[in-house]
Amino acid sequence: MARNKYYSGPVSDHFDGVRFFNPSGTAPKGVRELLKWQLATPSARWPKTFPSPHSVDRPPANVDVDPVRVSFIGHASYLIQGAGQAILIDPVFSERASPTQLAGPKRVNAPGVPFAALPKIDTVVVTHNHYDHMDMPTLRRLWHRDRPKFVTPLGNDTLLHRGIGNINVRALDWHQSLTLDAGVKIDSVPTQHWSARGFGDRLHALWASFVITIGQRTIYAVGDSGFGDGHIFRGVAAQHPRIDLALLPIGAYEPRWFMRDQHMNPDDAVQALELSGAKRALGHHWGTFQLTNEPIDAPREALAAALAERGVPAEKFLAVLPGAVVEL
């Protein structure tokens, strides 16, 4: 009988008793499609380095009043500070986004915040278990240094316990929420993606996006998502009518026949911004690790084109590079 390696719970509209799934019916591509992509689709060559124009950020030890401070570390990693709290989203400080540091996608720019410059971290949010989002060496370092709380979707708590030890972790299903110190609230919301750490655990852990309310500000953090028909983002707008900032992926989208259902391209992301009702957005998931075929600067150029075509002011959606800081 089939068995889930990480989670045991009731059947729902996105869990069949063994595996999680997208209610829209979209599923990750299989081995045949993967081989077709890897062997038959040409990929752009990235430079070995892609330095950020921003200076390395050295955040303050504490931000206890407005404005909320958001610092971009790289790829999908952010530091959020406000209300006396420091929150990390999908922190990756390793040189490679891979099961091993001997091979796999290699970082082409340094983290925008050096690990040693991080303030004491209160909470770490991990959106799903792919290696470019759940970086176990980094998470272990954070636990041993700061003993933070971890928040992650269902099943990923088992992975974190196995990889780190007896940590303080809370696993959330979609539409569940958690209130932390200083009134910080974290809501888990649906996203269209998938999960796996190896060959035998595909779809055994849930994936999610998170709406984080800190101080007087609300941040919608999307680690990875396909656009689908847009209902995910309409749903977030209905449940969270005041989003000050959306963190939206704009990279790792080519070839579209393979990536469409799991990663948005810049035009999808602009539509997601509009449907979510967010006041502004930062575009991430580009320019640090080469995961797919597009040239390194293509997401930034495509974002500018999509904003112009849809009549959205350029300053409303920025393609950020490591070290960028935004205050809300």
Give the pLDDT confidence score for residue 66 in this predicted structure.
Answer: 82
Give the pLDDT confidence score for residue 35 in this predicted structure.
Answer: 92
Give the pLDDT confidence score for residue 70 in this predicted structure.
Answer: 98
H-helix or E-strand spanning residue 246 = strand 245-249
Give the pLDDT confidence score for residue 1 in this predicted structure.
Answer: 65
Give the pLDDT confidence score for residue 168 in this predicted structure.
Answer: 97
Give the pLDDT confidence score for residue 199 in this predicted structure.
Answer: 87
Domain ranges of the chain: 53-327
Q: How far is CA 87 from the centre of its chain?
A: 13
Give the pLDDT confidence score for residue 3 in this predicted structure.
Answer: 94
Give the pLDDT confidence score for residue 32 in this predicted structure.
Answer: 93
What is the Cα–Cα distance from 317 to 305, expressed in whole angstroms? 12
The long-range contacts involving 161-166, CB below 8 angstroms and separated by at least 24 positions, are: 163/136, 163/139, 164/136, 164/139, 164/140
- Give me the residues of the chain with pLDDT under 70, please: 1
Q: What's the CATH code, domain 53-327?
A: 3.60.15.10
The token duo for 247 is 């963190």
What is the Cα–Cα distance from 127 to 91, expressed in whole angstroms? 10
